[in-house]
Amino acid sequence: MNLNALVISNEILCKNNMLMRLFVPDIAAKAKPGQFLNIICSSDNKLILRRPISIMDADAEKGCVDIGYEIRGEGTMLLAEQKKGAKIDVMGPLGNGFCIDDNFSNIAIVGGGIGIYPLYFLAKSLGECNIDVFMGYQCAGKVILEDEFKTEGCNVYLSTDDGSRGHSGFITELFSKTYKPGRYDMIFVCGPEIMSRKVVLMVRSNGERSQVSLEERMGCGIGACLVCSCEVKTAEGIGRKTVCKDGPVFNGDIVFPEVD
């Protein structure tokens, strides 16, 4: 195993969610928003497959990368058990991240659940834009990064499925109330597929641009095994691209091709 990353901290962020800081200078130096790490979660290789986790923040100077993750199954559970000082095996930064244009001035960011993690690094990297962030959570107990986005000067719109914080219902509802064609130069999306699809299609139907980060189960994480295929529009009709290498971030114009 290539134990290249040192765990600097690994702490509870909110219910079932952890924030891990890694000392991994090579990756920190190269990381771009939207890229991810592919992590060996068990120290004894009990699990074969790596787990993809987005880069939530990177500090090239300090050599640190932050990840935020939810405990969902055995892999993330084992990751949560890693202690400060442990060394873990991490590949990255992998994939194509978000495209940031210096001319952006009005930006919307729409995120749901764990999809919010990579959007924080994005928001930090957007520079002097006006950013509206729409964030949907299951419940108040799972609200993450709210203050962090505010500190970055973002306008935060919040919803919870159960109404325990912010708007009661889906974040797509809140977004569609605010969104008007022409309002944003770019709309960045990351979250559950149903959410992403709704936002991307809404924007696309107005002929506007979006970038969306997709999730898919992975094998290699580097474009070799074609396990993580997703459908995209191509010149010839419907084609497939790899989420791990061509993505995870795709242009909103080409994803969800079956709908138009």
Partner 1 sequence: MVVNTRVNIAGVVFVNPVIAASGTYGFGREYSDYVDLNKIGGISVKGLTLQPRLGNDTPRIAETPSGILNSVGLQNPGVDAFIRDEIPYLKQFDTKIIANIAGNTVSDYIEMAEKLDCTGIDILEVNVSCPNVKKGCLAFGTTMSGVAEVTKAVRKATKKPIMIKLTPNVSDIASIALSAEAEGADAVSLINTITGMVIDVNTRRPVLANNTGGLSGPAVRPVAVRMVHEVYKSVSIPVVGMGGICSAEDAIQFILAGASAIMVGTWNFNNPRACSDVAEGIKSYMEENSISDVSKLTGELIMNGD
Ligand X SMILES: Cc1cc2nc3c(=O)[nH]c(=O)nc-3n(C[C@H](O)[C@H](O)[C@H](O)COP(=O)(O)OP(=O)(O)OC[C@H]3O[C@@H](n4cnc5c(N)ncnc54)[C@H](O)[C@@H]3O)c2cc1C
Ligand Y SMILES: Cc1cc2nc3c(=O)[nH]c(=O)nc-3n(C[C@H](O)[C@H](O)[C@H](O)COP(=O)(O)O)c2cc1C
Which of partner 1, ligand FES, ligand Y, none lies near 169, with the C-beta cut-off 5 to 8 A by kind? none
**Does 84 engage in binding with a second copy (CB under 8 A)?**
no
Q: Which tokens in the block code for residue 1?
A: 């195993």
User: How many C-beta atoms surround the C-beta of residue 235 within 10 A?
Assistant: 5
Which of ligand Y, ligand X, ligand FES, none lies near 38, with the C-beta cut-off 5 to 8 A by kind? none
Q: Are 135 and 174 in contact (CB under 8 A)?
A: no
Q: Are 77 and 9 in contact (CB under 8 A)?
A: no
Cα 173-149-217 angle, rounded to 5 deg: 70
- Of the candidate spans 38-46, 93-101, 150-158, 167-175, the one that interacts with a second copy by CB under 8 A turns out to be 38-46
Between 216 and 235, how does the x/- string for binding to ligand Y read (CB under 6 A)? ---x-----x-x--------
Q: Are 95 and 245 in contact (CB under 8 A)?
A: yes
- Compute the least distance from the CB of residue 80 to ligand X, in Å: 9
**Looking at 16, 42, 138, 229, which residue binds a second copy (CB under 8 A)?**
42
CA distance 182 to 180: 6
Between 225 and 254, how does the x/- string for binding to ligand X read (CB under 6 A)? -----------------------x------
Q: Is 60 or 226 the residue whose CB approaches partner 1 more closely? A: 226
Q: Is the peptide bond between 248 and the residue preceding it cis, with omega within 30 degrees of 0? A: yes
